[in-house]
Amino acid sequence: MARVITVGAAQLGPVEKSESRTSVVTRMVRLMETAKRKRCDLLVFPELALTTFFPRWYMTDQAEIDQWFEAEMPNCDTEPLFDMARQSNMAFHLGYAELCTESDQTHHYNSAILVNKHGEIAAKYRKIHLPGHDEFDPNREFQHLEKRYFEVGNLGFPVWRFLGGIFGMCICNDRRWPETYRVMGLQGVEMVILGYNTPTTNSQSNEAPHVRAFHNLLSMQAGAYQNSTWVVGVAKAGNEDGHELMGGSAIIAPSGELVAQCLTLDDELAIADCDLDATIFGKQTIFDFGRHRRIEHYGIITQQNGVTLPPN
């Protein structure tokens, strides 16, 4: 029997610095209402969905920085999303800046959660590939200070049994790295979910916007095909305080084909019925890792004179 889940890519338009979380969550709830009418099982929101893409701003005051983070999840601002999940029998994915205490120390992560249809957090991922820089860079048209504000995620790339399938998450820049998909692919992932905030232009080169849009799809479509998995990539898009973010949120089949895509730079839903069994063909044929993958013949030296070399 087919395992079909209806998935909504819930793209968000711009969130300006001055927009409150209450206002953003109201917009998100509106998308959830539409998704409910369309019988979505799962709604995917972008990276750092609740605020502007604050790493573009240079800040030195830790109290000011911490205002962009959530110390609890859910909290009073985000509770309506969890209530909607319960009322609508709809799971969702949310990207946000996470402030937490672990072993008596404060930590800052760029995180994402999967919330089930009962409104319970079922899974969490913390972004591993943090792009950009950690000090003010006068040579950039705008800053990208993820390395300043976030620590590298410490939860790896696990997969979870969710909605009758095997799910994994990554966040934005992670989607450009083949390792991201392969680590989850080796665990049998059937749907990779991710959010992104990607500037339309590169602050260090004059790379054309259409090339950047191409790289966005190229990475996700290759990851899907080479691991025979669905990929759902969702943008925060449009002009945030004069800074353009690309859209193009997409639902990609295990064949690598694009099956749904957002066309605007605003709040928008792209919906597709995703059959998780569509992953089986690729996993049992060309990308049957057990039968065909031959890592021992790739020429990667892991041992020398009986000593295991550290990976680099």
| Residue positions annotated with a catalytic role | 47, 127, 172
Q: Residue 237: which H helix or E strand, with range?
A: none
Of 209, 172, 211, the C-alpha closest to 55 is: 172
- Helix extents (H) in the chain: 21-37, 62-66, 79-88, 146-149, 178-185, 209-227, 280-284, 289-292
Given candidates 11, 51, 111, 173, which one binds ligand CDT under the rule CB under 6 A?
Answer: 173
Tokens 């479509």, located at residue: 221
Tokens encoding 274: 């995703």
Cβ closer to ligand CDT: 80 or 131? Answer: 131
Cβ closer to ligand CDT: 207 or 257? Answer: 207
- Considering the rule CB under 6 A, would residue 68 count as an interface residue with ligand CDT? no
Tokens 């569509």, located at residue: 278
- Residue 14 CB partners (closer than 8 Å, separation 6+): 52, 236, 237, 238, 239, 240, 245, 265
Residue 57 amino acid letter: W
User: Least distance from C-beta 87 to ligand CDT, angstroms?
Assistant: 31
User: Least distance from C-beta 193 to ligand CDT, angstroms?
Assistant: 15
Tokens encoding 198: 């990607």
Interface region with ligand CDT, contact rule CB under 6 A, candidates 33-41, 170-178, 247-255, 268-276: 170-178
Using CB under 6 A, count the residues that bind ligand CDT: 10
Given candidates 111, 198, 227, 279, which one binds ligand CDT under the rule CB under 6 A?
Answer: 198
User: Least distance from C-beta 53 to ligand CDT, angstroms?
Assistant: 7
Given candidates 196, 225, 230, 287, which one binds ligand CDT under the rule CB under 6 A?
Answer: 196
For ligand CDT, what does the binding mask look like between residues 15 and 54, x meaning CB under 6 A?
A: --------------------------------x-------
Given candidates 93, 126, 144, 236, which one binds ligand CDT under the rule CB under 6 A?
Answer: 144
- Considering the rule CB under 6 A, would residue 148 count as an interface residue with ligand CDT? no
Of 134, 122, 129, 74, the C-alpha closest to 98 is: 74
Given candidates 197, 200, 249, 279, which one binds ligand CDT under the rule CB under 6 A?
Answer: 197
Q: Which residues pair with 231 in a beta bridge?
A: 192, 252
Interface region with ligand CDT, contact rule CB under 6 A, candidates 29-37, 75-83, 91-99, 195-203: 195-203
Q: SS3 of 67, please?
A: coil
Q: Are residues 234 and 249 in contact, defined by beta-carbon separation less than 8 angstroms? A: yes
User: Least distance from C-beta 204 to ligand CDT, angstroms?
Assistant: 8
Cβ closer to ligand CDT: 95 or 256? Answer: 95
- Interface of this chain with ligand CDT, residues 100 to 139, rule: CB under 6 A: 131-132
Instruction: Indicate the burial class of 302 (C-beta count within 10 angstroms; 0-12, 13-18, 19 or more).
Output: exposed
Give me the residues that bind ligand CDT (CB under 6 A), please. 47, 131-132, 144, 172-173, 176, 196-198
